[in-house]
Amino acid sequence: MAENLIRLDIVTPAGLLMSENVAALNLPASMGSMGVLKNHAPLMTSLDIGIVKYIKDDKAHFLAVHGGFAEVKENVVIILADSAEKSGDIDVARAMAAQKRAEERLKQREADLDVLRAEMALRRAIIRIKVSQMS
């Protein structure tokens, strides 16, 4: 088991969020969800707002990742994200509030509304809530 591990590093502007050896992981790549196992071919991909799932000690862990970039090389996966949160660190109340706010903003459709931004905020909030419920 131990020899089939890959290292997962998650780096954000706020610092190194985690660096762990995991058995398998799943990335929210912009072309669709993607699984990575040991000896994966070198790859670079941009990431969507989504959920990173990884298996460690036969247990699934989840993270919310908000856009960014991933590099797979020699059994090391590096995720460069604008921001990322472990499921335990998510402030659910805040995410709920953000979701409500974004939904309202999209519903009202005021003239100066930045639709793209509001939609992104909504997606981030939804992902956060989802991740927090997963574990």
Partner 1 sequence: MASTRDIRRRIKSVISTQKITKAMKMVSAAKLRKTQGTLVAIRPYSDKIQEVMDHLLSGGEDYKTPFLTPREEVKNILYIVIAGDRGLCGGFNSNVLRFAEQQIQATPEGVNASVLLIGNKAREYFRSRPQYEIMDVFTNIGDTPNVSQGKALSDYVIKKYLDGEVDEVHMIYSKFQSVMTQIPSAAQVLPIQVAEADENKEVHAETEYIFEPGGKELLDVILPKCVDSSIYRLLLESKAGEHGARMTAMDSATDNASELIDKLTLSLNRARQAQITTEINEIVGGAAALE
- Which residue stretch of 23-31, 49-57, 93-101, 123-131 sits at the interface with partner 1 (rule: CB under 8 A)? 23-31
- DSSP letters along 100-130, please? HHHHHHHHH--TT--HHHHHHHHHHHHHHHH
Task: Using DSSP, state whether 23 is helix, strand or coil.
Answer: coil
Would you count residue 87 as binding partner 1 (CB under 8 A)?
A: no
Would you count residue 93 as binding partner 1 (CB under 8 A)?
A: no
Query: Judged by CB under 8 A, how many residues of this single chain contact partner 1?
Result: 23
Would you count residue 103 as binding partner 1 (CB under 8 A)?
A: no
Would you count residue 39 as binding partner 1 (CB under 8 A)?
A: no
Q: How far is the CB of 116 from partner 1 (least distance, A)?
A: 12
From 1, 2, 15, 39, residue interacting with partner 1 (rule: CB under 8 A): 15
Distance CA 37, CA 82 (A): 24
Distance CA 77, CA 19 (A): 10
Distance CA 45, CA 80 (A): 10
Residues that bind partner 1 (CB under 8 A): 11-16, 29-31, 41-46, 68-69, 71, 73, 78, 80, 82-83
